[in-house]
Structure 1
């Protein structure tokens, strides 16, 4: 299992995947909004989305897990 974590605090602006989706390396999974900027978080490698841990509007802190991927 790989976890995609926030590297900054912000509000979840978009959730681009759901559990069961196959993703490719570099594919955007979540977009956070912080200081009026949109920051995408991408998959580091290919896999399947096991769990999406956030919803649009959620506030996350640095280090919070956004998405869990199965390899």
Structure 2
């Protein structure tokens, strides 16, 4: 199983995918707010979303799993 992780600590502003969605490499999947900047998190590789591990308003740390993907 593949995962998409937070690239920095911040608050989740938007989750752009849902379970069952197909994502492509480079696609924005989550929007974080960190230090008053909006920072998109992108999928490093493609797959199908099997689980969304965060919700809008939650705080995440660098390296936290945001999205899990199946091939």
Q: TM-score of the superposition, structure 1-length normalised?
A: 0.94
Q: Give the gaps of 5 or more residues in structure 1.
A: none
Q: Give the gaps of 5 or more residues in structure 2.
A: none
The C-alpha deviation readout for 1:10-61, integer Å capped at 9, x for no partner, is: 0001100000001111111001000110111111111100100000000011
> 1:63 Cα deviation (Å)?
1.4
Q: TM-score of the superposition, structure 2-length normalised?
A: 0.94
Corresponding residue of 2:18: 18
> What pairs with 1:7-46 in structure 2 (closer than 5 Å)?
7-46=7-46
**Helix, strand or coil: the match of 1:29?**
strand
Distance 1:20 1:34 in 2: 28
8 Å contact kept, 2:22–2:47: yes
State the Cα RMSD in Å: 0.7
Runs of 4+ in structure 1 deviating by more than 6 angstroms, as ranges, are none
